[in-house]
């Protein structure tokens, strides 16, 4: 297989934590905890498989509309993850970056993610991108505003605006577009996730709930991807 056809970047919508817990007569927070544990397992599997970029949809801007109790539980879980997994991230040479509306997060979480990004910046085996307080439409709006300000100030002309310029102003500007997008739990929608970036991404939907999604299924999806022909509209 040509190098250009190899999978470099996988994006995942991690869906089904609540349903996983409900099936076991447990609170949703238990499902989220198991889902967070699976993030660690799948990150390891990604690194072992040779994938260089992994982007996870951890918390959307729409998720702020959930009950205060659930949001608080998710934020506490995030704090625990950021503290607990720091050593493993460093030992496994993983670079971690966060994309989204950071100002909506509490100050202590902002400081934690800033610290983790800075400390892991030189790691090279895998880039783990966590979409946190993220919404793709708002990302695009912010990019349009940025370009509009430059045009208004005379720093850019309208003719300077290109697809490449827009890509280079998105949160993911230093990350290649995903080759694969996986959504777990049986839902078959994109949910305001990486709308610009997935223009030519191969989509995979699985009925597996996120806490049960494992390395074996991941490798099966990568194999299916390797057998697909990607034409990018050329024929």
C-alpha 179/C-alpha 8 separation (Å) is 7
Instruction: Reply yes or no on whether 15 is catalytic.
Output: yes
Site of tokens 């309208």 = 158
Catalytic residue among 5, 17, 38, 63: 63
Instruction: Reply yes or no on whether 63 is catalytic.
Output: yes
Q: Is the sign of the CA dihedral 115, 121, 125, 129 positive or negative?
A: positive
- Residue 81 DSSP code: H
Catalytic residue among 15, 17, 38, 179: 15
C-alpha 35/C-alpha 23 separation (Å) is 14
Contacts of 83 (CB under 8 A, 6+ apart): 112
- H or E segment to which residue 8 belongs: none
C-alpha 179/C-alpha 222 separation (Å) is 10
C-alpha 76/C-alpha 40 separation (Å) is 17
C-alpha 28/C-alpha 95 separation (Å) is 30
Q: 130 has which bridge partners?
A: 56, 98
C-alpha 172/C-alpha 176 separation (Å) is 8
What number of CA atoms fall less than 13 Å from residue 85's CA on the CB side? 26
Looking at the annotation, which residues are catalytic?
A: 15, 63
């Amino acid at each position: 297989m040509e190098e250009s056809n190899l999978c470099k970047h996988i994006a995942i919508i991690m869906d089904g934590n609540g349903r996983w817990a409900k099936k076991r007569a447990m609170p949703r927070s238990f499902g989220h905890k198991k889902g967070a544990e699976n993030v660690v397992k799948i990150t390891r599997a990604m690194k072992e498989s040779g994938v260089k970029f992994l982007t996870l949809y951890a918390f959307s801007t729409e998720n702020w509309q959930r009950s205060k109790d659930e949001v608080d539980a998710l934020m506490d879980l995030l704090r625990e993850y950021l503290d607990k997994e720091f050593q493993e991230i460093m030992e496994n040479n993983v670079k971690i970056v966060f994309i989204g509306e950071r100002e909506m997060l509490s100050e202590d979480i902002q400081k934690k993610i800033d610290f983790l990004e800075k400390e892991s910046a030189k790691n090279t085996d895998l880039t783990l991108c966590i979409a946190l307080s993220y919404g793709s439409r708002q990302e695009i709006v912010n990019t349009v505003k940025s370009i509009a300000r430059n045009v208004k100030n005379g720093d850019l002309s309208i003719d300077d605006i290109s697809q490449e310029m827009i890509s280079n102003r998105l949160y993911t500007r230093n990350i290649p577009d995903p080759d694969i997008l996986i959504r777990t739990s049986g839902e078959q929608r994109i949910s305001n996730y990486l709308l610009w970036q997935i223009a030519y991404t191969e989509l995979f939907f699985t009925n597996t709930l996120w806490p049960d999604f494992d390395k074996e299924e991941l490798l099966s999806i990568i194999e299916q991807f390797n057998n697909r022909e990607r034409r990018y509209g050329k024929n």
